Structure 1
């Protein structure tokens, strides 16, 4: 029997199996070779260098963050300073306007002030003013000086203490134009007496007593709220009566109260003689200008003195 001749196939299934096995062996060799524990050159040195670089850059970033925080704080501080400066400028502008308005009103009082100063200079040339009879002096520069008793109500606030030497001088001048009075009292705007031992009584107007009280006044420190209402009320209740010829002098630079009408009404009720329908006391006022003055004291005192037979004098700077 004759065998049939088979065709020879180069890429038979067996051949492909062999090729696949060989390829697999090559892959295994490559994998084994890549996982070798042999040290790679320069790997440690490069890692160390990179770590140092990271640390340096982190430090640079931290420094930049610190500088940025400082810059932000500086900007915030500058903004706060700028805002405070704007607020101060606004307040100064408002105060300047108030002072300008007050100065315009004070110009009207300068003529009267000059007369007072001229009169005081003349009195200084009198050898012994205590010997002048009070009844011979009716008015000095428009201020009646025929009272037997005088009460001073003085603002003792910080702004007045800054000009206290001038205040003391004017108080001495007022006493001088009253050459002979029977007694006097000095209260602060809250109603505190300079001599508590004479509370409710008159301080005798004798030369030594007047001198000692004035020396005490030069160093007088007493709490104050820059409102003469309390002191004026105490003065009228304790010292004003139909049988006493009384003058009250209010000395200050500012009024801190809220309402003018309440002050005027209190004075109208207390300073009234129901029997005669006249005022119990003359009320005068001396207005000083300090850096805290706004004109409210002058406005109030003009009206109070006008209604109570008194005179308001505005002192220059």
Structure 2
């Protein structure tokens, strides 16, 4: 093997008896060094008079952080307002950030969109969604968006999601006082002018039941597409096709209200369907087997009474 001769390394040698150990070099580096065929003089009277001494002897001024870069840095690091203020203060002490950079500027980003909001009956919503889409420079075609409605213990919200997820979501209604009821959802749809745009709607099964005028809870006929009988447990895994529900008649087959959304505008959430399939799969497992006991360790709140009830229901 042939090694290239260089000045700053010692070539490997074969060690054997009678060969003395190599000695390290004794020369030292001088103040004048050659780098990239350029002479660099290290004698500088006042180091504060220059910024940076780059390879090649070029003076490069520091690139101070501006407002846009600082906001991106805070967002990427996921800093809170308090920590962002500390970071800005430390950078200013080191003269690494421009003097006009402020931490409080992101708190006023909603000012441009504030005029598009209205508040009525504890519900905050967009009064003109078309104007908002124009301001955000997003497509106005209603077929490019779908409406997602959901609620939790603390809030009720409606969000526009882009079909294809190429654009960010747009919150169109929000409330911390409203509950998930037929009257509140009907009022929400009227406020955001749903019947003008007629977006497709994506929601969980309870919200879909409310939107289609169905009775919520453990109803006998809870499906808005067919006449599936939830009480007929003996035929759930034997009958594959049930009679289609062609029309919603109030007072018949657990229909208690007029439908708020056309049936063909409802999108079934695939996540809930997958969770339902997995639930039935878990019910069929042996409760004394390793797989089932492993699931119990992952979900410790799954009580024995609940497991026994579901197991009996599945066996029926």
Query: What is the TM-score with the length of structure 1 in the denominator?
Result: 0.21
Higher relative contact order (CA 8 A, sep 6+): 1
Higher helix share: 1
Q: Based on CA coordinates, which of the two structures has the bigger radius of gyration?
A: 1
